[in-house]
Chain A
Amino acid sequence: MGTPVIEVKNLTKQFVLHTQHGAVIRVFENLNLTVDAGECVVLTGPSGTGKSTLLRALYANYKPVSGEIIVRHEGEPIDIAAADYRLMLAIRRRTIGYVSQFLRVIPRVKTIDLVAEPLLALEHDPEDARRRAAGLLLRLNIGANLWELPPATFSGGEQQRVNLARGFIHPYPVLLLDEPTASLDAGNRATVIDLIREARDRGAAIVGIFHDQEVRDLVADRLIHLQPVEKVM
């Protein structure tokens, strides 16, 4: 057994939709999960069982109803379900990386700067940050002719690769990956698999969702199957 980096204890999430007469959507109940350093856990289960919701809760994007999410941040175990927002921002800067299927484009911001930004937020040398961004973009087949453009007009696959470059530029101890290979061709998919394995080998704790069976088989150390609960009360 390695060192647990993520410990989810008795986590329950539901949504109360006040605009729909207070309908309650139960997503998961009393969920437990431990992820060690250097381990890649893949979430499986039918659509709607809360895989993405769990990832978002691990990023404090969704607020759980009850339970704990203990994440090791700079050596300290921190319950991010209860962490204050300024600590949470520091945890996102330094410890937890999140890569979704979609890139959020910021008007007028160049691709290269978008990718370098996580390093700049950690006060890296700007030149070095851009150099590393360039290296990752090249590896993900985004040519130099695109770096100075905002990615708004890029194809879905290109945007996804820009997003991946952004997510992998800092060696986060925790990586959350929500379908990062969804619209990639075989060559780029292989690159992403390499990136994931490299992150795991340097000791990252990874939680991912991959519908692609082949990718899943190549990166997963362990599968966690989420069970559907009775959805609506």
Chain B
Amino acid sequence: MNPAPPTPHDHPRSTPAPGPILGAEGITRTYDGIIACRNISLDVWPGEVVAIVGESGSGKSTLLHCLAARQEPSAGTVRFRPEKAEPVDIHALPEAARRRLMRREWGIVHQNPRDGLRLYVTAGANIGEPLMALGERRYGSIRAQAYHWLEQVEIDTQRIDDLPLTFSGGMQQRLQIARVLATRPRLVYMDEPTGGLDVSVQARLLDLIRRLAAELDIAVLLVTHDLGVARLLAHRLIVMRRGEIVEQGLTDQVLDDPHHPYTQLLVSSVIQV
């Protein structure tokens, strides 16, 4: 047994945190009697990157959607702690209050950028729209922020008035990240953010997510089936199988010394380059 050495890089900032930003308890979601995820409990703390890994059909995307209030769980509670406020049970909130939280406090990066972008409005407007939804009305400020975020995600600012329809897949994905981050969310959900991108584009995107998560001190909950992505980005790893958590811990610990048979199978199935 000679796995790769552990990675001591990349730690969440040491700012004192009053508690988890997200706390899920006993989340179960069924579809017509079929259980997608069962009795899942987890916490995410400010500034922390947590990856959920598992094969397709393990229920990780369903879980993500329940946590991000895009789906209602069949059972369980999801508590979110807004800035300078007590945690709230997001599924018990009135619709309007929940929508307000979704716009202001967290964002979601979809696997397919077409699910998170509006392809027929300009790149600049894609960044400006969520800002306007939060009440920003000054055109100059919106324009300046659009420039800023395009630079942050390394998109040529000369493309600000182009439609994302004309962008490559990697550029669309970066634009989607800019659109999500522009509203300064405190928690970002990512569903296979690098899936479907070629490897060099993927490396660039991973570097970007890694850098922005640390610089902006946001919490990230990432769903991926790629253990390499998880190792590079996540402080902590949660392994799901058939709708349940089978193992969790520090990322390098779970990958280098997996205990559950399923995690061992997952780790031993990775092709070494």
Contacts and interface: CB of A to CB of B under 8 A. Distances in A.
A binds B: yes
A185 interface: no
B5 A101 contact: yes
B261 interface: yes
Nearest to A15: B1
B161 interface: no
Nearest to A98: B8
Contacts of B260: 18
Contacts of A18: 260-261, 264-265
Interface stretch (B111-119, B142-150, B182-190, B250-258): B250-258
Contacts of A100: 5-6
Interface in A110-146: 114, 117-118, 121-123
Interface residues of A, number: 37
A29 B4 CA distance: 24
Contact of A89 (B11, B206, B232, B261): B11
A56 interface: yes
Interface string B126-158: 000000000000000000000000000000000
Nearest to A86: B45
A157 B236 CA distance: 31
A62 B255 CA distance: 10
Contact of A107 (B8, B13, B203): B203
A118 B250 contact: no
B30 interface: no
Contact of A19 (B48, B207, B256, B261): B261
A16 interface: yes
B168 to A, nearest CB: 18
A89 B49 CA distance: 12
Contact of B9 (A60, A85, A86, A104): A104
B217 to A, nearest CB: 11
A108 B207 contact: yes
A102 B1 contact: no
B25 interface: no
B9 A62 contact: no
Most buried by A among B9, B204, B260: B9
B210 to A, nearest CB: 8
B235 interface: yes
Contacts of B8: 59, 92, 97-98, 118
B13 A123 contact: yes
A113 to B, nearest CB: 10
A209 B79 CA distance: 47
Nearest to A96: B8
Contacts of B45: 86
A178 B250 CA distance: 21
A9 interface: no
A63 interface: yes
Contacts of A63: 249, 253, 257, 259
A123 B217 CA distance: 12
Contacts of B166: none
A106 B253 CA distance: 18
B272 interface: no
Contact of B7 (A17, A104, A123): A104
A104 B1 contact: no
B259 to A, nearest CB: 7
A224 interface: no
A121 B11 contact: yes
A205 to B, nearest CB: 17
B9 A106 contact: yes
A108 B204 contact: yes
Contacts of A121: 9-11, 13-14
B4 A102 contact: yes
B268 interface: yes
B76 interface: no
A61 interface: yes
B12 interface: yes
Nearest to A120: B214
A122 to B, nearest CB: 7
B207 A106 contact: yes
A24 interface: no
19 contacts: A17-B264, A19-B264, A19-B265, A62-B256, A62-B257, A85-B236, A85-B250, A89-B235, A92-B8, A92-B11, A102-B4, A104-B5, A106-B9, A106-B207, A114-B9, A117-B9, A121-B11, A123-B14, A166-B9
Interface of A: 15-19, 25, 56, 59-63, 85-86, 88-90, 92-93, 97-98, 100-102, 104, 106-109, 114, 117-118, 121-123, 166, 178
